[in-house]
Amino acid sequence: MHVAERLLDRGEAVVGVDVFNNYYDPALKAARAARLEGRDRFGMVRMDVAQAEAFADLMSETGARRVVHLAAQAGVRYSIENPFAYERSNLAGHLSVLEACRRQPGFQHLVYASSSSVYGDRPGEGEGFKESDAAAEPVSLYAATKRACELMSFAYARLYGFPQTGLRFFTVYGPWGRPDMAYFTFTQKILAGEPIEVYGQGQMARDFTYIDDIVDGVVGALDHPPEAGVNRVLNIGDSRPVGLMDMIATLEKALGRTAQKVFRPMQPGDVTTTYADISQLQALTGYQPKIALEEGLPRFVDWHRGFYG
């Protein structure tokens, strides 16, 4: 939604595609779409991107020359409970997009979402994860599907020559975000007076990246395609990892309430730390995250109170 708004603001024509499944509350998804549907040069199509023939027909009908592919089944823990959802949405979905793009005359650039999870569970050593680091030991099926999508894109770029950019996202947060994310569920439980479960005994750290900064990077990458036949993979994050307990303290301050904390061990599929080296994206686009967690979380809390009352 945020990327679509940014593109519309600068005069682009945008077609949105979403299946509106019930992985989380479809009402939130519908509300996002409603923000866009009244705007000029925007069209909304309800479709599963894994429906290859239908998606290819849509590409042909619209004459799209650039695609920002952010559709996926997200969530590390859910991939343990419902693995076949990831086979369809992530693997078949990505293949469907690749096939449609490679058949589209004059196609210019595919930008797609990968994930920091491809790096696996690595110790925090004071340096950001680099794109050249090995990404061969995923600890969740979700991570494995995202790495598989990158490899599929390398093959399609080489075979069919169209430029691609995969963006490894690092813990995106902010208004209109996903309710399955920790900051979102913590907010809801703290407001309801319910205890929050703090996994990894509170020792985890995340490179929290505010949505507006993410959009800067996505659109910047879109505007700077690589050469024909190249699939480029870039980190997109804040590059300032924050400890989980520090995030909770910042959230408590924004809410004006103290959380009841129940400490739990690490869950299967979780990683200890994420930390983005963003030097490549910076060199390409001038990308520079601006919104620190101390500013971004209060913005989210304000939105949450306005949206949910």
Active site residues per annotation: 142
Backbone angles phi, psi at 59, to 5 degrees: -60, -45
Using alpha carbons, select from 173, 224, 194, 204 the residue that is nearest to residue 273. 204
Q: Which two tokens stand for residue 49?
A: 């991107």
Name residues whose C-beta falls within 8 Å of residue 125's C-beta, 6 or more positions apart in sequence: none
Residues 247/292, Cβ–Cβ less than 8 Å: no
Give the distance between the most distant pair of CA atoms in the chain. Answer: 57
CA trace torsion 206, 89, 101, 210 (10° rounding): -20
